[in-house]
Chains A and B, each alone.
Chain A
Amino acid sequence: MNEGWTSVVFNNRDPVYLQVVRHFKEQIATGRLKAGQVIPSRRELGALLKINPNTAQKAYKEMEEQRLIITEGNSPSRITDEAEILRTIRSELIESAVEAFVVSVRRIDVPVDELLELVRTKYVEERSRTSQEEGGSSDD
C-alpha cells in the first residue's frame, strides 16, 4: 500500500492539498489506483506523504467534492466506480500536460509535422528507457 506514496515531492508555490489531489489523479490515470480501491485513511496519508493532518483532510474533502473518492459512513474511503469520472481524469491530465507543452514550444514556431515527428521519437525513446528502469512493472 505504501508503494507510490513516499516519492511525492511537493513544490512550494502550489497549494499542497491540490498537489495531493493531483497525485491521486496521476495514480488513477496510470492504473496504480483502481476503481473501487480502498485508499489510506486521512491519518495514514498524512504520515505517508509527511504532510499535516489538516492538509490531508482538505485534500480528501476536495476529492470528495470532485467525486473522485467516496466515503460512506464509517467505512474507509475508496476510489469511485464511476467510469465517466475516471475517464475524465485521464483526459484532463493529458490535456493539461499537452497545453503546457504547446505554450512553451509555441515560442519557437516549429512546423507541426516536424514537431510531431520529434515528439514521436522522443516519447518512444523515453518510454522504452523508463519501462526498462522500472522493469516493465507499469502494467501490474
Chain B
Amino acid sequence: MDETVRERIVKLTNSKRVVLFMKGSKMFPQCGFSAQVVGILKESGVDFDTHNILSDQELRQGLKEISNWPTYPQLYVDGKLVGGCDIVTELHETGQLAEILSP
C-alpha cells in the first residue's frame, strides 16, 4: 500500500475518539450489520464519526490491510480496532462497551 494512502487512512481512524467505518452513512446505513452498530452507538449516546467505505474504494481495501480485518463495519476507539458487528454487539450485551466508550 502506498504510504500516503496509509497515512490518510490512519488519520481517518483518528478523526474522532470513536470512529465507525461502515457501508452507507449514519443516516442511511446500507447494510444490516452496519445499521446494528450505528444503533448501538446511538443508544450509548457517544459522539462518533462514520466513514462510508462504499464511496471510497481506496479506504475500503486499505483499511482491511491495516486492520487485518476483512469485513465491515469496523469500530475504532482511540485509534484502535475494537471489532466488527459481532464483537461490538457482544460487548454491548455484557456492558463492557460502555467502559470502552467512556473517556
User: Are A and B a genuine interacting pair, yes or no?
Assistant: no
Q: A residues bordering B, Cβ < 8 Å?
A: none
